[in-house]
Structure 1
Amino acid sequence: MTTTNHASMLSRAFADVHAKWGWFVGLGLVFIVLGAVAAGNLLLATIVTVYYVSAGMIVAGVMQIVQSLRVKTWRGFLWWMLSGVLYAAAGVVTSMNPLLASVFLTLMLALLTVASGVARLWLGFQARTDHGWGWIVASGVVTAIAGLVFLLGWPVNSLWLLGLVLAIDLVFQGCALVGLGLRFRAA
């Protein structure tokens, strides 16, 4: 592809995005409103989050079962099949009792947050000779402390923590989309 063709393609793509800046802003505003609604009822948002996770587990399990049927000649066919069945079954069980599932998902969130913080601390200290390594360490400290706070509040925080994470994520995604849309408009 020549440089002229590449520049022309980029110009058309940018013009298309520029013309649709309002959709980015509109979608961002919807996300912000959904985040505010989630923040207004953290228990309901937690239950929605658990149903979302369970639906993902069911879909992934079914897809793995289908894939295992496509490779029946492989040596580990039965293990692939069993793994898919168990994954889908876990999704079904999760959807049957979302409050109980939120207890386990919150525990996993807390443990993984602590582990992520510790990993960032380790990476930051490994990079002591690099410029900016302190930011990595600071990020690790904040993340590890957040994970410990999650652990200390467990299992009571299982009723609202996943909903809070969803609400915050929706608001931040919404702000990012609004900012991106306004940037496209100005360009």
Structure 2
Amino acid sequence: MTSVFNEMPGSPLRSKWTWFLGLGVLLLICGLIALSNLLMATVASVFYVGMLMLAGGVIYLVHAFQVRRWDQVLFWALSGLLYVLAGICAFINPIFTSAALTLFLAIALLVAGVFRLWVGMRMRPLKGWRWIAASGVMTALAGFVIALGWPVNSLWILGLFLAVDLIIQGWTMIAFGLGLRS
């Protein structure tokens, strides 16, 4: 099996393999730091979500005064105000916000898992349907376990997700960079 990069000797990505490797090492280090202090990683992720909500709220508020009809202005302004308030809440009380986000995460995983299980069961005549059903069971089980431990686990769940994501992305970039080099 030949690589696309092997067919293109002058590929601009191939010459940048050290950047991918460096980024991977940096992401891996950040993931390990986050893993060593899950509470701080949770607070950092809550602050990140808070910044996004503040920015989104301001954009909604600006947009509210760009529409013509009063009922639309009211809808967009209220939506923007709610986003801004949620963003401020993330900075004022990150522990409460992490509890709310963890509960939303548990519910989302439960719903996604049940839906994926349903899709897998509907695909039963096809080969490989068990993989989809199994992934649905695992996702729903993860949501159920998170919901069982809520609100105590909200102090570390978001940080754990952030740490694991950083570690996986780090290994991915390292592997990609080394793959470009060869």
Fold-level similarity (TM above 0.5): yes
Deviation at 1:90, TM superposition (A): 1.1
Count of aligned positions: 176
The answer on 1:123 being equivalent to 2:92 is no
Root-mean-square deviation over aligned CA pairs: 1.7
Paired residues for 1:14-93 under 5 Å: 15-73=11-69, 76-93=72-89
Q: 1:79 to 1:23 in 2, by over 3 A?
A: same
TM-score relative to the length of structure 2 = 0.91
The one-letter amino acid paired with 2:95 is L
1:114 CA drift (Å) = 1.0
Structure 2 stretches of 5 or more lacking a match? 1-6
Once residues 159 and 97 of structure 1 are traced to their aligned partners in structure 2, the CA distance between those partners, rounded to angstroms, is 12
Structure 1 unmatched runs, 5+:
1-9
- SS, match of residue 131 in structure 1: coil
CA distance in 1, matches of 2:132, 2:92: 40
Give, as a single letter, the amino acid of the residue that structure 2 aligns with 1:169: D
Deviation for aligned residue 1:177: 1.0
TM-score, normalised with respect to structure 1: 0.88
Write out per-residue CA displacement over residues 76-124 of structure 1, whole angstroms, 9 at most, x where no aligned residue: 1221122112111111112110011111111111111111110110010
User: How much does 1:70 deviate?
Assistant: 2.5
Distance of 1:27 and 1:79 partners within structure 2: 42
**Residue identity (%):** 46
For 1:30, the aligned partner's letter is: L
Matches within 5 A, 1:174-185: 174-185=170-181
